[in-house]
Amino acid sequence: MRMKFSRSSQLLLVAAASLVVASFITACETLTVDFVFVASNRAAGANSYGEIDVFEINSESGRMRQIPTSPFPSEGRNPVAEAVSADYQNLFVVNQDDNTIVQFIVGNDGKLYPFNTVNTPGIYPLAIAANKSEVFVVDTYQPLPLCSTADPCSGSIAVYPLAAGGSSSSAPCAASVCLGTPATNPAVSAQFWPLTLPSAPSDVIVPTAVNILASGAYVYVTAYDSSTPSPVGYIFGFAVGSGGALTPLNGGVPHDMGVGSKGFGIRPSAIASDPASTHVYVTDSTNGIVVSYSVASGILTEIKDTPTGNDPTGVVVDPTYAYAYVTNETDATVTAYSTSSSGLTSIGTFATGLQPVAIGIDPSTNHFLFTVNFLDNSVSDFELSTTAGTLLDAQFSPFATSAQPVAAAAIPHNGTGGGVSSQ
């Protein structure tokens, strides 16, 4: 039997259907809890730029899905690191082969809009960190005439002060934050701080990672001495002053990781700190450990060495729950730890994609964890147990990325939570 409807009834049915569709769209939108930006460094496109894949995380299942028009060009060659501004409205991408930092404005839908590009003071940038006031970038080599891959020299760190932007005519830029001129180091009359040993200034110090405490008071750079037969690991510490000016801690003498329980031959690979700014954690890729430190007036004191898997490459601390996580590159795993004043205690190890090189936690809920897997061009996503610290694969994980993904950063969709960045 064929049913007949009056015109008014048809209009009511159309209106009801429209409401259902609108409700469905609204529900879908609210299910997006975060946007994750994954940088891939394999050349792509006419300009040989890297790419940024933008994923949205579903708040119920943890499923990651690329947004429309993703991926976006990284606006430079060989992107290697990312950070987000404290207001979550800007993404900073380091392109190593161009010696640049590209600032993107992040749309409400997660789309990226290139806004500004600056050159780093040094050569071959490799790591970046940001807070409300500054952006810190670490370069492989100082900007000296003789520094090159053929004739390497020690690395350096530079600081870009951030100024508030906006739409007013007096704002320094139209973005929410504006990158200022790099701070000047009066000791060298240049816009960088060299990473050198006072006892062996000619040794080549190779930086590996950077971390700024949540308090903003201190910044640390991990590095190793490549001039010795066995690499020796160091942590360079700086107090952060007005305008981003840095003061080396301990008279410029870095913390020697070789004096710990494992002895010499340590090669730090990643660094993270807790939200209270009282503890720092450094992975050692040579010995397969993560070293816990307490922080007092910026000075680090070793608490404990805890085993990891083989070749740990990344470490992240949950801002809300008492857990930390380390990626193990050779094993294709991530190890979970509980955190306390006595250091880290292993909870368990979980499989990732092949060759995980970076790690992050979703900043809205601190409930989902993701790893960037270089060898199989993917990102793995996990649901994090807030009571046990264990990890459960999110729906349909892992997810395909562009070729050779190396770094990730994330922002909350609803503008709340704590930002996270991974090198």
According to the model, what pLDDT value does residue 32 have? Answer: 86
According to the model, what pLDDT value does residue 266 have? Answer: 86
Tokens at residue 149, please? Answer: 């891959």
Please name which of 176, 47, 40 lies closest in space to residue 107, comparing C-alpha atoms: 176
According to the model, what pLDDT value does residue 30 have? Answer: 58
Backbone angles phi, psi at 213, to 5 degrees: -60, 155
> With a cut of 50, which residues of the chain have pLDDT below it?
1-29, 262, 416-423
User: pLDDT tens-digit profile of 88-135?
Assistant: 999 999 999 999 999 999 999 999 999 999 999 999 999 999 999 999
Peptide bond into 73 cis (omega under 30): no
- Separation between Cα atoms, residue 168 and residue 43, nearest integer Å: 38
User: pLDDT tens-digit profile of 390-417?
Assistant: 999 998 999 999 999 999 999 998 654 3
CATH placement of domain 36-422: 2.130.10.10
Where along the chain do its domains lie?
36-422
According to the model, what pLDDT value does residue 46 have? Answer: 64
